[in-house]
Amino acid sequence: MQQWVYHVSPEVNAISQYPTILAVCISLSFVMTVVVCLRIWVRAVWKKSFGVDDAVIVSSAVCGIIYCALCITQSRLGLGLPLKLRPNESLNTYATVNFAGRPFYMAGITGFKVALCIAYLRIIRHSSEKSYRHVVWGIMIFTILSHVGGTLVLFFQCSPVHKSWRPLTPGKCLPNPAVFYPLAGVSIFCDLIVFLTPIPLWLKVRISTPRKLGLMAIFLLGLFTTACSIMRVVQIEIIARDGNSTMLILWGTIELNVGIAITCLPTLIPLVTFMRGRTSKSGPMQYTYSTSDGRSAATSVKLKSVGLHSSTMRSQTIPTGNNTIVKSGSFSSLEAILPVDSQGRPIQREGVESSNGNGSQSHIHVVPNPGQITKTVQVEITRTDNRPGPEQSWLH
């Protein structure tokens, strides 16, 4: 069986960190790809609202996959070994692959931050928060320009430029600490402002406290990428000492993949809500209708029944007030909003009571025909406005 690292002895191959590199790159790339695919399905297929931010995050994911592939390639050329044990035969090839990965890394981390900013602008596009929109635009422009500038610094770190992928070429290069420290500082600053920007928005949104805290928690998870950037800063000193960039590259891989995945989490909220509804044993039946003011609303009908009925139930129409009508279908052979007799005629209703407002209730008392087996059905009707608020704008 061929050993993993090229041009080294079996003993040197055995001490390489390539298994760690493979595990991190493959596992995180897989998780990130699954999360991005779920986002695409929710936004493009289910909600049919694929936007610019989704296209940006897909591009970022492609860059992340390419960067991980290049990291795996570098592990075959010496990445994972101390600098003095890396094979000289692979020196130029390793430097070329390493240089090729730099723009993909920078494009990837820029992409998920820009995607979040575009999503923020989409959320507040109909709001009166003009100053907030200006702040988001400023953050996005600063993020793009600073990361493009960082990419150019990495490109032109050496003079002549090709010394970056031909290390033995005569010339000079900027010291790694002088390049990596400022880039890491800018990246950390952008992480902080991008992930903390929506917190004031969620504080103003009128939703339940648990849901508000959940939304804020999702965005605060993005600060994990900041922790990864800090760990990369720690590795800069190690590179300055012995030239081993293994952990620097690994922490960059973690930062990139985790950042993309966390950015996608808010868009998966409707999928999680849907799955929770599917797994519940019982729940209200939903009916969509239009009210007199033209708004789309939903009516939830909860059935609570006692006893049995001997006949097959048919479709009934129940007025609920405020120009709204709820239609009940044949839920089962023993359940319906209103029962009918053996000839298919509706049994007389009396004591129909309804109340209107944000939530309306109707209590229907059934008067049975003498001699029949009867069933009492209690109908509870609630109305909710389906117009999207700021916390729902991830769906549109």
Which residue segment(s) compose the domain that 353 sits in?
A: 283-385
> Which residue(s) pair with 375 in the sheet?
307
Between CA 171 and CA 150 the distance in angstroms is 21
pLDDT at 365 over 90: no
Residue 26's alpha-carbon distances to 20, 23, 67, 256, 325, in angstroms, are 10, 6, 11, 13, 54
Helices (H), 41-129: 52-77, 91-123
Res 342: pLDDT = 54
- 265 with 129, same domain? yes
Q: Which of 259, 277, 295 is the last residue of a domain?
A: 277
- 25 with 96, same domain? yes
- 120 with 217, same domain? yes
Res 237: pLDDT = 84
Instruction: Give a yes or no: residue 324 inside a domain.
Output: yes
Give pLDDT tens digits for 60-111: 999 999 999 999 999 999 999 998 999 999 999 999 999 999 999 999 999 9
Instruction: Give a yes or no: residue 219 inside a domain.
Output: yes
- 202 with 324, same domain? no
- 56 with 201, same domain? yes
- 60 with 160, same domain? yes
Range of 136-145, 314-323, 348-357 with top mean pLDDT: 136-145
Burial readout 31-47 (b: 16 or more C-beta within 10 A, e: otherwise): ebbebbeebbebbeeee
Average pLDDT of span 310-339: 41
Residue 88's alpha-carbon distances to 8, 92, 215, in angstroms, are 10, 8, 51
Q: What is the CATH number of the domain that holds 234?
A: 1.20.1070
Instruction: Give a yes or no: residue 2 inside a domain.
Output: no
Provide the domain count of the chain: 2
Average pLDDT of span 118-124: 88
Average pLDDT of span 273-291: 58
Instruction: Give a yes or no: residue 392 inside a domain.
Output: no
Instruction: Give a yes or no: residue 166 inside a domain.
Output: yes
Range in 86-95, 161-170, 332-341 with the lowest mean pLDDT: 332-341
Instruction: Give a yes or no: residue 311 inside a domain.
Output: yes
- 357 with 263, same domain? no
Residue 59 token pair: 């591009």
In this predicted model, which residue has the larger pLDDT, 257 or 176?
A: 257
Q: Which of 229, 253, 277 is the last residue of a domain?
A: 277
Q: Which of 277, 308, 329 is the last residue of a domain?
A: 277
Residue 180 token pair: 């990596």
Average pLDDT of span 224-231: 90
Instruction: Give a yes or no: residue 160 inside a domain.
Output: yes
Between CA 14 and CA 118 the distance in angstroms is 47
Instruction: Give a yes or no: residue 308 inside a domain.
Output: yes
Q: Is the peptide bond before 319 cis (omega within 30 degrees of 0)?
A: no
Find, among 272, 260, 253, 258, the residue nearest to 214 by Cα. Answer: 272
Res 197: pLDDT = 87
- 252 with 352, same domain? no
In this predicted model, which residue has the larger pLDDT, 333 or 149?
A: 149
Range in 152-166, 169-183, 265-279 with the lowest mean pLDDT: 265-279
Average pLDDT of span 227-233: 90
Average pLDDT of span 126-151: 92
Res 378: pLDDT = 54
- 273 with 288, same domain? no
Between CA 213 and CA 207 the distance in angstroms is 10
Under the banding of pLDDT at 50, 70 and 90, the label for residue 376 is: low
- 379 with 266, same domain? no
- 123 with 222, same domain? yes
- 210 with 352, same domain? no
